[in-house]
Amino acid sequence: MASIPGLRPATPTNPPRALDRVQGTPEAGMSASAKWAVGGVIAGGAAAGLLGAGSSALALYFARRVITPVRVRDENQEVLAVIRAADGLQVILAATEDTTVEGTYGLIFDGGRGHARIGRILSYSPAERTVLREVEAVYSGDLTTARRGYWSGASYPDPASIGLPVEDVEVDVEGGVAPAWLVRAPAPSDIWAIMVHGRGASRQECLRALRPAQVLGMTSLVISYRNDGLAPSAPDGRYGLGSTEWRDVEAAITFAVANGAREVVLFGWSMGGAICLQTADLSRHHHLIRAMVLDAPVIDWVNVLAHHAQLNRIPSAVGRYGQLMMGHRLGRRLTGLAAPVDLKSMDWVSRAVELRTPTLILHSVDDEYVPYGPSATIAEKNPEMVTFESFQDARHTKEWNVDPERWEGLVTAWLRRQLAPRANPGSRPRKSVPSGTDANMTDASGPE
């Protein structure tokens, strides 16, 4: 999941602040009457008594920013210089909390037309606030002329860049067709991996899982879904935070079954994880979902939204009021939602025991956008079904980028166990936990 536009973590170079108005958005042109209307429309005015008109407008702004897709990413990463060295290109970047973490990343520039893969740190100057990194590849665009871009966990632009043959296919969804990448297994396969990117991200985010899927003999379908800029937009043009998007994953399962799949494994990143959980809960194909692999998933939206409100010094009451707007039937008049978003139904900490699909969760304790606590808690509450693996240092959905060998090794080993032939048709494989140990939790306690 990309950051919520207008909401960003507090850092030394980005102190906590109230939300800025963003020119060109519906919120920026909010009329005075709309601001005052917020106080009286929701819950019969009961909540309005707690908040002034300014706070009500801020709550509405907060709610709308969460559910409104942003089509153009903010190129907020400075590119200071590109150096031609004897062994290839190097790039000097402004030092940020992203660019000073080791690993392999994508740098997207020139309005999304340029894509470079950035590797190891060669030097770092805290005094000058610059970092020199290796450029592993430039897939498109002219990096030497770039001045700004955005940092991404998507190191590769498409499956071909990883060396995998790909077919462009279309999945029938509500309102039209959604483009998808089809990467066939080395041999015919009746178990497919369906990969679901996060909020504000693209299907490039999912490419990190293609190698484990290939090793395990799974055909991969890397999908797009409503409001992501490729698939048809939802009628209301708003995110459902998983409550509506799961229907597009269900359509992808239908496509897979029509093309030879008997079972599927769902992969989801950030909000894509929330979408996968809703699919496993609500889809008519839920019995075909053999397992799920979730990277930095949203397990509880209330927790995530409260976290973002706190980061931006939004009073907790205002943040809760924004959540009320999203979930109340009258709030849709202001938010633009076609139907309320039921955040309670997507609280999988409270619903942990209801999850009956074997699930692997990989989540960094240093995730700045989606706190890892709910991921650890759901595993504690439902150890039979949920395995949790923690990472260090990685920022949001960048666990693979920091340690690709560990990420791929964990996913491959865990899925190999889940995909092993079942002793009895229709039964779930049960885990054997040695006495006195917890095989489902790895360093779930987090930093001290």
What is the value of pTM for the model shown?
Answer: 0.84
- Note the pLDDT of residue 144: 96
Mutual angle of helices 271-282 and 246-258, in 10-degree steps: 70
CB neighbours (10 Å) of residue 434?
7
Give the tens place of pLDDT for each residue, 229-250: 999 999 999 999 999 999 999 9
CB neighbours (10 Å) of residue 336?
15
- Note the pLDDT of residue 425: 53
Render the burial of 95-109: b for 16+ CB within 10 Å, e for the rest: bbebbebebbbbbbb
Which residue ranges form the domains of the chain, and what is each CATH number?
1-67+301-342 (no CATH), 77-152 (2.40.30), 159-300+347-423+438-442 (3.40.50.1820)
- Note the pLDDT of residue 201: 95
Quote the CA–CA distance of 362 and 325 in Å, as a whole number.
Answer: 31
In the β-sheet with 219-223, what is the strand arrangement from edge to edge? 167-173, 176-183, 219-223, 191-196, 263-269, 289-295, 359-364, 386-391, 441-442
Of residues 101 and 33, more confidently modeled? 101
Inter-residue contact 202 to 402 (CB < 8 Å): no
Of residues 319 and 89, more confidently modeled? 89
Give the tens place of pLDDT for each residue, 195-228: 999 999 999 999 999 999 999 999 999 999 999 9
Q: Taking 60 as the threshold, does the pLDDT of residue 444 lie above it?
A: no
Give the tens place of pLDDT for each residue, 158-201: 999 999 999 999 999 999 999 999 999 999 999 999 999 999 99
Mean of the per-residue pLDDT values for the chain? 86
- Note the pLDDT of residue 295: 98
Give the tens place of pLDDT for each residue, 413-442: 999 999 998 766 555 554 444 433 343 433
Closest CA to 320 of 67, 70, 56, 8: 56
Inter-residue contact 179 to 231 (CB < 8 Å): yes
Inter-residue contact 254 to 177 (CB < 8 Å): no
DSSP state letters, 371-398: -SHHHHHHHHH-TTTEEEEEESS--TT-
- Note the pLDDT of residue 167: 98
Mean pLDDT, residues 129-138 taken together: 98
- Note the pLDDT of residue 352: 98
Strand ranges (DSSP E) for 96-208?
Answer: 105-109, 114-125, 130-140, 148-152, 167-173, 176-183, 191-196
- Note the pLDDT of residue 3: 52
- Residues in the chain, how many? 448
Give the tens place of pLDDT for each residue, 36-51: 334 344 444 444 444 5
Quote the CA–CA distance of 175 and 168 in Å, as a whole number.
Answer: 19
- Note the pLDDT of residue 426: 54
- Note the pLDDT of residue 435: 38
Quote the CA–CA distance of 246 and 258 in Å, as a whole number.
Answer: 18
| End-to-end CA gap in the chain | 26
Angle (CA) 428 388 246, round 5°: 70
Of residues 398 and 4, more confidently modeled? 398
